Every structure is written in structure tokens, then in C-alpha cells.
Amino acid sequence: MKKLEHDNHFKKLQNMYIEKFTEGEKERKFITEKKELVNIISPGRVNIIGEHTDYNLGLSITAAINKYIFITGYKNGSDSIEVYSEYLGDSGKFLLKDITFDKSKHWINYIKGVLKEYVENGYKISGFNMVIDSNLPIGAGISSSASLEVGVAKFIEELFDLRVSKKRIVEMCNSAENNFVGVNCGFMDQLSVTYGKKDYVIFINFKDLSHEYIPFNIKGELILIINSREERNLAHTEYNERRKECDEAVRLISGIIKERDINSLSDISRELLSEVKDKLPDKIFKRARHVVTENERVLLAKECLLDGDVKKLGIILLDSHESLKNDYEVSTDRLDYLVRELGKINGVHGARLMGAGFGGSVISIVEKGIANEIIDIIGRGFLKKFNDTPDFIECLPSDGTGRVLFMD
């Protein structure tokens, strides 16, 4: 059980649950006195370094962060699921025996996808009511989708007293997003949200989903996320096209180098890639080069974090952005502007686009004492150039998804 950290959110959600889902004094008394609601807190995630490496079976360093989705709910004694999102001001209702894709309410498909995984894998669940709130921005590149998926999975586990391993939760939530929602994401987001640990980042090897914790050994610094407010929907961007291009790179390279088993771009060294460069289409070569060099940057960043070398880490972040911009071609004018302008401010230790790209956010490591100054400088410049105001999110590593006991 997780210690209650956000009692005001759960008090609000409890009252909202009573208002929307209870009828009569007896049921209200059950909720308010016995406090039988299942309360789940599920963090977002940041990817420090290692972008587009997860589905290429490479390396990354990520962290769950102290911005969350909050879930409260209980069984309703039927076969129906009823959900209300306070954050979106929207609701949905469907039957467990009829879980189909909803074209009009995209957000609810993440919930449906997880439920379908549990049903199809033989877990015994029934209907429930659920209220959701969040201080985790949607579309900002900090994985609100995985936060919701893993939060719903943990909610189901607690509500129906199931015993599901963390690894299995990661696998089912990833399958939900790939096979139901239609985004061919790797395991990074779900793993980070599930395995997060306060004051630590997570070094992940996606070949076997192994991970190790590394202290966030950068005293006096925090993670500053800047949301460009350039919305993107991964199911409708070139994200899936990048995955196909990486698969094509593996197919072509393995056909050239037949004496070696090459199953992913992470099986390829920089030297080997240079050998086959002239035999690859330029675009395919650039996609592969990003993945190969990004894995190298992850290993360098791990050393920096262990040594507390924030200046060198910043250089690595900037190198990553250039690779994402030029080789992987997932940056935008807004993201490039943010990285460039952040680099001009003393006390900012590097920045890069974070997440899939095509919009979303930039991650930077900054000195805590000048965060407000950075926000003012970047905010004014961004408004002048794009006639829009970015969102700023200050965060630190957090524990992963878990249950919270609601207590007065």
C-alpha cells in the first residue's frame, strides 16, 4: 500500500463518486464510513535519454514522475463499466461482454483495451464504476496513456484481489495500446510507470525488459518539462511509419550481413552500420544511425548520473536532440526553438525533445534556484514567436503505480 500523498484529490473523487454513482443513504454510508473505494495513484514518466530505442530492443534511462492520474472506484454488481473523467469532463459506459473500439471517445479506449486483456487472459472480473482525475497533462509527452493503462490494471488487481506480476501488467498494458488502441509503442512507458522508484531513475534493457535503479545523483537540480502545446496523436502521426522504417533497416542489414544474427537495430554496432551504409537507402540509414548512436548515448548518460556529472549529461541530451531532429526527423519548429533557447540560459544543463516527437514536450535538467527565471524567459520568447504560451512542469522521480488507503 502507498502512503496517502494526495488526500485532497481522493476526497474530491470520493465525493464525486457518491454524487454520480450512489443512490440512497445505505450506499452512501457504505462509501463514506467504511471507505471501501479502491484508490489508485499512477504517475507519468519522463525519458531522460534513449528515444525510439524501446521498440528497437535497445536501452533507455527513464523515471516515473510526481505528476499523477488518480483513480477511485468500486464494484457495481453488474456486467457494466461506467467511467467518469473529471479532467476531461466526459463519461462513458459499456458492457464487459461488448468491448469495442470507440471512435468518438478516444480516451476511453485505453481503459477498454486493458479490460479486454484481462478478460481474454481469463481473469475473473465484473462491472464497476470509476472516477478519474489528473494533474498529468495529456499530449505533453509524459505518457498519460500508459499512466492510465497501468492505473486501470492496478485498480482491477486490487478491486478483484488478483495476483498479477508487474511484468505481466506491463505486457498486458502494452498489448492493449498496440492491439486495441492502435499505437505500436514499445514497453518503455508502461515499464517506467509500473517500476518507478522515488529518487531513482531506471536503466532499462528492452531485449529482456531487465532494469536497474540508478540514484538521481544530481543534487540541486530538477527536471523541467516544457510542453510546446503542439498536439499530436500517435495513432495519426508518422510514429508507426518510423517503426516500419526500422524494421526495414533490420531486414536489409540482416540480408547483407548473413553470417550474424541481427534481430533488431540494437544488434548493430556503429562500425557495422558504417560498413553497410552505401547499400542502404539514405533515409533507412539515418533511422538506423539514430538508434545505434542513441544506445551509445544512454550508456554515457548512465556514467554521468552515477558520477553526478550534470554538465556532461547536458551535452548528451543536446546530441540526442540533434539526432532526433536530423536522423529520425521527429522534431518540429516549436521543439527546436525550445531546445535552442534553453541552451542560451546559464543553469540549464542540456535539453532535447522527449517522447515520440511530432509535437509534445522538451525535457531539460535545470538548477532549482533559477526555474522561475527560465520559465519567464522561455515563456515570453515563445509567446512572441508562436503567439502561444507553453506549459511548464517541474518534476522529480517518483514511485510507480500503487494503491492508496484513503484515510481522514
Neighbouring residues of 97: CB distance < 8 A, sequence distance ≥ 6: 79
Query: Residue 189 catalytic?
Result: yes
Amino acid 363: pLDDT: 96
Fold of 7-216+398-404: Ribosomal Protein S5; domain 2 (3.30.230)
At 180-193, the pLDDT tens digits run 998 877 788 999 99
What's the whole-model pTM score? 0.88
At 64-91, the pLDDT tens digits run 999 999 999 999 889 999 999 988 889 9
Amino acid 140: pLDDT: 63
Please say if the pLDDT value at position 3 is more than 80: no
Is the distance from CB of 362 to CB of 345 less than 8 angstroms?
no
Amino acid 237: pLDDT: 64
Amino acid 157: pLDDT: 96
Please say if the pLDDT value at position 370 is more than 50: yes
Neighbouring residues of 27: CB distance < 8 A, sequence distance ≥ 6: none
Please say if the pLDDT value at position 285 is more than 90: yes
Q: How confident is the model at residue 35 (pLDDT cuts 50, 70, 90)?
A: low
**C-alpha cell, 158:** 486490487
Range ranked top by mean pLDDT from 82-86, 112-116, 389-393: 112-116
Sign, CA torsion 314/59/150/239: positive
Domain coordinates of the chain in residue numbers?
7-216+398-404
Is the distance from CB of 301 to CB of 48 less than 8 angstroms?
yes
Amino acid 296: pLDDT: 98
Percentage of residues of the chain with pLDDT beyond 90: 73
Amino acid 235: pLDDT: 47
Per-residue pLDDT, averaged over 150-176, amounts to: 96
Which one from 133, 189, 267, 309 is the annotated catalytic residue? 189
How far is the C-alpha of 84 from the C-alpha of 63, rounded, in Å? 28
Per-residue pLDDT, averaged over 337-355, amounts to: 95
Q: How confident is the model at residue 141 (pLDDT cuts 50, 70, 90)?
A: low
Q: Tell me the CA distances in angstroms from 401 to 151, 178, 237, one per residue in order.
A: 6, 21, 28
Per-residue pLDDT, averaged over 395-402, amounts to: 94
Q: How confident is the model at residue 20 (pLDDT cuts 50, 70, 90)?
A: confident
Name the nearest CA neighbour of 114 among 56, 51, 71.
71
What's at 40, amino acid-wise?
I
How far is the C-alpha of 341 from the C-alpha of 374, rounded, in Å? 10
Is the distance from CB of 67 to CB of 393 less than 8 angstroms?
yes
